[in-house]
Amino acid sequence: MGEDYYSLLGVRRDANKKEIRQTYKKLAVTLHPDKNQDDPDAHEKFLSITKAYETLKDDELRKKYDLYGEEGAPKHQSYHSWSFYQENFGIYDDDPEVITLDTLDFEQSVLSTDTLWFINFYSPICSHCHEMAPEWRKMAWELEGVVRIGAVNCVDEWNLCNTEHIASYPTLKIYPSDMRTQLLLGSSTPWLILFYVGSTVKEDLELKKLSVLLFNMHVGKVNCAKLLSICLDLNVNRYPLFAVFKQGGGYEIHHGKESAHDVANFAKESGAAINVRILTPKEYYLARNQVKSNDLWIIDFFAPWCPPCLRLLPELRKASRHLGANVNIGTIDCTVHSELCRQLSIQSYPTTILYNHTDEHLFYGDHKANNIVEFVYDILNHTVIRLTEYDFSSMISEKPSNELWLVNYFAPWCYSCKALTPEWRHLAKMARDLPNVYIGEVNCEKESIVCMGQGIRAYPSIRLYPFDSKGVSTFAIYSGYTKTARSLFHWLFNFLPSPVLELNPSTFNDHVMMDKDVWLVDFYAPWCGHCVEFAPVFHVIAQNLQGVVKTGNLDCDKYVDLCHKAGITGYPTVKLFLKPSKFSYGDEIPNASRRTDHTCSRPKSFQSYAEDVPRRLTDFTPPSRKFFRSELYRPTRRGEINVHWLTSCDTSILPVTVSVTPAFDTYGR
């Protein structure tokens, strides 16, 4: 095994990028072969530290190195002259007033805050950038405390500069703020505490700034040399360290930059998220026991050196403000509590688990607050039915012929299974209004007997147990490469009995034109991609309106003349036929716009259509009035709006009840 990269550079394992860059620059200037021509090993030594630096400066490479060692390191290293390291490397690394930002810093401190920033995007090989550097430092010193002055090295952070559309160097950009965010707290005032040892001249200056920035919080400091037992109890393992102690007894530690503005932003977020707290191993097991009551716990296992972990923490705080008071969020630092994480088989960071009574649900998907809230809502409302051995025996093995089950057999360690998880939940919501259609899943690691009995040998395996069959003797296997909610829903649609009547000119004239019942007709063409997309949506509409409205579809590629008489100019077109007539070809359900290439745009809802034509309601027959009033404008559960979409380019927009997401505890609890 090769030499440890952290030891080679002389940095801590939790060192940030700036510390790694500063240390490497000193070593590069000292050990460069140009300055050590008498040392035959100088070249190899220099390549070793360069390899270590290029591994640890890159978030992904650093993560791979921490997990797998040198196997994840780059194979080739860059090589520059001694003068490059002496004069060009890290122009602002030694300037405390100018904040060098990497991608994570930029997202957390610039894009996610209300602070006013003035940022210099530069290249170390740009002569104009070097000429401007003294003036930039002077301005940063003069504006300290008023505007935050930053710098981004576009050679190191090229992806960030590309995202910000930086085309030349230097480029100076201002990131404005409305400066109105305030901390909304309960009656108990939180504390921001600085833990320190030794001299605190610099920290005292930051605390004075913080006391002004955080007018709704108390600010204090603790000398860990004098109060060692307190610091040990709180697992304070570095100095200086800022922590927020909240209403209710929880606390959180700050893991970002230690400037006043960054700490203040953290304190505001943390103080407002009173249900988010750090957990020790003892508190973890207490929380697990508490889950037996009505309280739930989301526990995030993380490491402070992991950039995705640090991006997730503020999203958890945001999510906590939308979840109910009985949903708690705990964080466990696996670098501090490594034994607990080892016992729980935590193998990657971040790992986020929802503990719901005796069940554990791993969170997969984008690390955004709205996705976390949606994940919790789906679990609590049993959007996907989790099948145990007993459930499988009673629900699937003894399935009656009037039920259809779609089951995902998965393993928690399987990457493709993890990618499928959010799509599977989305599919369950798309299909929730289909009568007698159930979406389930089997964890083959826990329910190995079930999976062995079904001959499951690969993950994920998706099987459909159709209507008109009993038990598991008849099933279809999904073999499509794309496993999105949309593609799976289209596949499911092929196995559903359709209430939509396939019309021809004869049935159209006899039933639609002359029938006393209300008809809703989809005019389509089989070659039209949007028609194919819309077909399952119209199918669900038809099922929801059974007994109130009759539904049919007409192939305009086959019956061109009839569609021409009906005034069909684009596909798909949906028309409503309200009363019998030989001459009226119905009322078209309007799109927001109709483009000449027959593609559809985001439609108006049926509810909006009813509101647009109130004066015409007096002309409607009684069944039509019932159709509009009771079916399309009926009140639903608190916190929800009933909207029926009649045309759509997206099969995720279904004619079902659409939830408006207020606070979590609004949902029927």
Indicate which residues carry an active-site annotation: 414, 417, 528, 531
| Nearest-angstrom CA–CA distance, 193 and 312 | 23
| Element containing residue 624 per DSSP (H, E) | helix 622-626
| Residue among 458, 568, 467, 591 at smallest CA distance from 522 | 568
| Residue among 596, 606, 547 at smallest CA distance from 576 | 606
Contact assessment for residue 538 and residue 574, using Cβ atoms and an 8 Å cutoff:
yes
| Nearest-angstrom CA–CA distance, 360 and 266 | 29
- Number of C-beta neighbours around residue 619 at 10 A: 11
Sheet holding 296-302, edge to edge: 276-278, 327-333, 296-302, 351-356, 359-362
| Nearest-angstrom CA–CA distance, 462 and 421 | 12
Reduced to 3 states, what is the DSSP secondary structure of residue 279?
coil
Which residues, in sequence order, are CB contacts of 198 under 8 Å at separation 6+?
Answer: 225, 239
Burial class (CB in 10 A: 0-12, 13-18, 19+), 111: exposed
| Nearest-angstrom CA–CA distance, 666 and 669 | 7
- Number of C-beta neighbours around residue 272 at 10 A: 21
- Number of C-beta neighbours around residue 343 at 10 A: 10
Backbone φ, ψ for residue 644 (5° rounding): -105, 115
Q: Distances from the Cα of 66 to the Cαs of 70, 196, 303, 310, in angstroms?
A: 9, 29, 11, 17
Q: Would you state the structure tokens that stand for residue 655, as one six-digit string?
A: 């004619």
DSSP assigned state of 189: P
Q: Would you state the structure tokens that stand for residue 129, as one six-digit string?
A: 């950038």
| Nearest-angstrom CA–CA distance, 216 and 230 | 25
Sheet holding 404-410, edge to edge: 385-386, 437-443, 404-410, 461-465, 476-477
Pick left, alpha or beta for residue 567 (phi over 0 → left; psi -120 to 50 → alpha; otherwise beta): left
Distance of CA 494 to the CA centre of its chain: 31
Reduced to 3 states, what is the DSSP secondary structure of residue 248?
coil
Contact assessment for residue 339 and residue 396, using Cβ atoms and an 8 Å cutoff:
no
| Residue among 15, 109, 104 at smallest CA distance from 56 | 15
Contact assessment for residue 667 and residue 618, using Cβ atoms and an 8 Å cutoff:
no
- Number of C-beta neighbours around residue 139 at 10 A: 17
Contact assessment for residue 581 and residue 594, using Cβ atoms and an 8 Å cutoff:
no
Q: 327-333 and 276-278: which strand pairing?
A: parallel
Prior bond of 460 cis (ω within 30°): yes
